[in-house]
């Protein structure tokens, strides 16, 4: 693939609107996490600490809406801890302009490289760099910067605890990926009746295969319904193609 064509494909995919399923309960849970940490910070500390807590909870909450096969609790914790660390390191470097610009360039480069690990890692890293430019202005000393970093990380912990206490659609994304793969095989079978050499769109099956690659901890808790259907669908697809092929004995046109 040439560079211009690759660039056009990238631009086209970036401008494509994905009709994702609305998750109002998950949004309400994330908003509740932000409200809780703001209330606790205002009650026990000051508005500046409340702002840091809000940024941490907001970053952790929004990161859990990205399509990922990792547990949302882990994503929330990583987002909160990453923003807290970035805030502390950024505050230490901001008094020296050259050092801060070097740090910002390195952070931006790492955020760009994070996209290679997937859209979830890319969005979390990019959001961390953007919010860091605001949170580093809140502390007034090194110890206070450390406290702000801790309370930002606490925002991620609060979101993770809410996700643990109020799970919504457990394994929902994995179920959706498996359902799309099975629907793609069913649609392929219907199209083969009219066109024995109809192509099979591999994207749903690739997504389902990625969803099936879980950690050992996830594998122990994965529902039994998510274990075998994908492998069965992958075995059925070539069998359907062979049955529909006129060279194997099927009629040239569908019944």
pLDDT at 247: 63
pLDDT at 150: 93
Kindly state the tokens that stand for 44. 């026990």
The sign of the dihedral angle between the CA atoms of 56, 57, 58, 59 is positive
pLDDT at 121: 84
Q: Are 121 and 114 in contact (CB under 8 A)?
A: yes
Measured torsion, CA atoms of residues 23, 16, 77, 211, in degrees rounded to the nearest 10: 80
- Give residue-wise pLDDT tens across range 108-134: 999 888 888 777 888 888 888 888 888
pLDDT at 225: 63
Q: Are 53 and 151 in contact (CB under 8 A)?
A: yes
User: Is pLDDT of 162 > 70?
Assistant: yes
Q: Which residue has the tokens 């909870």?
A: 57
User: Is pLDDT of 207 > 70?
Assistant: yes
With a pLDDT cut of 90, the percent of the chain lying above it is 28
Give alpha helix (H) positions in 64-138: 72-93, 97-114, 119-135
User: Is pLDDT of 196 > 70?
Assistant: yes
pLDDT at 248: 53
Measured torsion, CA atoms of residues 13, 17, 20, 26, in degrees rounded to the nearest 10: 100
The span from the CA of 85 to the CA of 117, in Å, is: 20
Q: Give the closest residue to 179 by CA, choosing from 225, 217, 214, 240.
A: 225
User: Is pLDDT of 250 > 60?
Assistant: no
- Give residue-wise pLDDT tens across range 169-190: 666 777 778 788 888 888 888 8
Q: Which residue has the tokens 């050499």?
A: 197
Q: Are 135 and 52 in contact (CB under 8 A)?
A: yes
Q: Which residues contact 179 (CB under 8 A, 6 or more apart)?
A: none
User: Is pLDDT of 220 > 90?
Assistant: no
The span from the CA of 61 to the CA of 55, in Å, is: 10
> Considering only 81-95, 137-151, 228-242, which range has the smallest mean pLDDT?
228-242
pLDDT at 224: 65
The span from the CA of 63 to the CA of 123, in Å, is: 7
pLDDT at 1: 58
């Amino acid at each position: 693939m040439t560079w211009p064509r690759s660039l056009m494909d990238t631009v086209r995919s970036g401008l494509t609107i994905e009709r994702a399923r609305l998750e109002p309960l998950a949004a309400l849970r994330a908003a509740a996490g932000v409200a809780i940490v703001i209330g606790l910070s205002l009650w026990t500390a000051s508005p500046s600490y409340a702002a840091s807590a809000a940024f941490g909870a907001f970053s952790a909450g929004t990161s859990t809406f990205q399509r990922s096969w990792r547990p949302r609790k882990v994503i929330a914790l990583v987002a909160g801890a990453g923003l807290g660390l970035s805030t502390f390191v950024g505050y230490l470097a901001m008094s020296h302009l050259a050092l801060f610009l070097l740090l910002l360039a390195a952070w931006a480069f790492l955020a760009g490289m994070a996209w290679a690990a997937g859209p979830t890692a890319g969005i979390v890293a990019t959001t961390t760099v953007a919010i860091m430019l605001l949170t580093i202005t809140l502390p007034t000393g090194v110890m206070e910067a450390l406290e702000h970093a801790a309370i930002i990380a606490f925002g991620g912990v609060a979101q993770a605890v809410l996700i643990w206490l109020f799970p919504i659609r457990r394994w929902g994304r994995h179920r959706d990926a498996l359902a799309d793969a099975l629907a793609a095989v069913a649609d392929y079978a219907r199209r083969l009746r009219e066109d024995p050499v109809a192509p099979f769109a591999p994207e749903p099956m690739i997504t389902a295969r990625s969803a099936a690659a879980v950690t050992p901890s996830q594998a122990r808790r994965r529902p039994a319904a998510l274990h075998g259907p994908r492998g069965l669908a992958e075995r059925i697809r070539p069998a359907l193609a062979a049955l529909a092929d006129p060279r194997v004995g099927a009629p040239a046109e569908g019944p």
